[in-house]
Structure 1
């Protein structure tokens, strides 16, 4: 593995227009607002030069540090992130580099403590090397021992589309899984064990996969994910933390590509969300239905919204509730809540705030209050927090913190 030395220092100035442009261009990661173990929230974004970060100065404070830029040479502009049971935040992205298979390679980095510099970006390879131009049969040579076989072109002979965004998935044993997809080839993953040793790439099938895999880790540390395709998805998971992934079934459902998200909504039970292509409304689905019940698609409104929804769980008026946040049809953040696993009660979506760039984000803060964040059209970070003095789910005013 290679490391980018010198890429961990943050440059202090980032043009807001560059952040807003990248967010509206689709580079916003799902779950880009995160709560650290010290109680401080951190928000993450992207721009053409690398990763951008804002950090609370103290738990619950309206004074934030940032935006800070962490440059990445060859940065492709998009990233995903996940947080493990230690509070470490893991990032995955793609960079362009001469000499890498297909000119690109997957990279990962870690933030071990809130507000601290990122660790080095390390290359983990590319499971989908480009096919070299074919030669006459008499001159064709077999791959050398140990050399990765290039993937075939599409049946039409046209080049395959670029790979989907890599996704990081840390399980409860300290292992880190990186998963990526490519239409016409499938989903593949590689695991770094807790001792730091990387294994080989593993094939998770799904030749007609579309978009990135959809990850979920339970509170017990068991990891699972969906491999999505047009008309449905395959469901993969661990029997226990640290075990190999195995195929658990397949679901049939129409979905807008790139709109999936997930949340653990009960002990070891994940609920997945996406948008229906008919009207953009939000659909919920639980692969692990309660005993005696069949998994069902559950509509949750939100028609006209775009992108994946943000999801959080909290108690509202004493009830365990699931809170959804979306970018609505007019570009405003919209929020809804319902009793957890009570999708049949329906939802009512309410606008909260002005137009935003990219997707808004949701998290709980150090006090357990629902906190929502958005990047405004000037590239600034705005935060609004739940008002615990009001019944129901009410928010205080938006505060521009960066």
Structure 2
């Protein structure tokens, strides 16, 4: 199952407003709050009138800016990648800018992923024609460096890119060999290959969350549907049976005064399932609690914190409907009724 949006598609901008992104009708769309914690503006197209292929990658830097990447059709049935920056949720994003193709030209090769380093430079990753991984990144003073081959073999379509706790970019991919990893060693450098994690992974279930300055925690499901967490220097820990197919959404937040990791997933029952545990203490145990209405197949789930530190969960369905719930001022993870935006 290829996700329609790769990355955290519900984000808080530097002005405190939440925004949500989704692809639809050969375009990318954005919803944004009128003001932090307030009503939402109607959805609108971002990046101009450029026609896009399905699928959208979203990344956010420490400056709060959103970086969007997608494929667009080009001549002769081929495709190329385009990039846009969205500085403020309620303002227009920049028009789509072509950034090329990992093999110079050809058809779409995989779902892109994007992460932004501590200096605000976007790094784009995508599977290439040979099923390895290519990357391209922004220069310090504008423009883009050339494409670079990170190698890799038999990589599945979906990649996961994230900015770690030290502001350095990391990218992960799954293959028959397990989880492949590339890590940025210093600011501005290209990520380099690290030792792979030799585990059995169900393709399309990988997600990543920085859980401390030192570590990013990876989440994945095995072919039998068991959800695991892993950090470098340790063995994978079995958490709980996955609530449904695809990746979990993950958020580090404070619940009842404790640093917690919150997971959410579109469950097999059609509702949204939540589970939480003390951050980096997976052995404490966790269990799923379902919430909200039943959603159709293909619904996506996202998590964020609003400007007041409250957890916000969102779902986007293939028909273009955005639903939201927000944490109440009560103990635990008490949520308001889900509302359609």
Q: TM-score, normalised by structure 2?
A: 0.93
CA distance in 1, matches of 2:243, 2:324: 24
Q: Is contact 2:251-2:262 (8 Å) kept?
A: yes
Q: Is contact 1:302-1:328 (8 Å) kept?
A: no
Deviation digits for residues 274-306 of structure 1 (CA, Å, limit 9, x no counterpart):
12111x23211112x3xxxxx211122143511
CA distance in 2, matches of 1:59, 1:175: 26
Residue matched to 1:111: 86
Identify unmatched segments of 5+ residues in structure 2. Answer: none
Residue matched to 1:330: 269
Alignment of 1:139-158 (within 5 A): none
Alignment of 1:371-386 (within 5 A): 371-375=312-316, 379-386=320-327
CA distance in 1, matches of 2:142, 2:201: 37
Are 1:368 and 2:289 counterparts? no
- Higher mean displacement: 363-372 or 178-187: 178-187
Residue matched to 1:79: 56
SS in 2 for 1:307: coil
Are 1:122 and 2:97 counterparts? yes
> Cα RMSD (Å) of the superposition?
2.0
1:167 positional shift: 1.5
1:227 positional shift: 2.9
Q: Is contact 1:183-1:209 (8 Å) kept?
A: no
Q: Which has the larger radius of gyration?
A: 1
Residue matched to 1:7: none
Alignment of 1:283-294 (within 5 A): 283-287=228-232, 289=233
Residues 90 and 377 (structure 1 numbering): CA distance in 2 closer, same or farther, change over 3 Å?
closer
Residue matched to 2:44: 68
Residue matched to 1:282: 227
Q: Is contact 1:215-1:224 (8 Å) kept?
A: yes
Identify unmatched segments of 5+ residues in structure 1. Answer: 1-23, 132-160, 290-294
Residues 254 and 385 (structure 1 numbering): CA distance in 2 closer, same or farther, change over 3 Å?
same
Are 1:180 and 2:129 counterparts? no
CA distance in 1, matches of 2:133, 2:306: 35
Query: Per chain length, whose mean CA-contact separation is higher, i.e. which structure has more relative contact order (CA < 8 Å, sep 6+)?
Result: 1
Deviation digits for residues 301-331 of structure 1 (CA, Å, limit 9, x no counterpart):
1435111111111111221100001010112
Residues 26 and 213 (structure 1 numbering): CA distance in 2 closer, same or farther, change over 3 Å?
closer
CA distance in 2, matches of 1:87, 1:30: 14
1:355 positional shift: 1.9
CA distance in 2, matches of 1:65, 1:122: 26
Runs (4+) of structure 1 exceeding 6 A deviation are none
Q: In structure 2, which of residues 279, 284, 292 is the aligned counterpart of residue 353 of structure 1?
A: 292
Residues 255 and 72 (structure 1 numbering): CA distance in 2 closer, same or farther, change over 3 Å?
farther
Residues 376 and 171 (structure 1 numbering): CA distance in 2 closer, same or farther, change over 3 Å?
closer
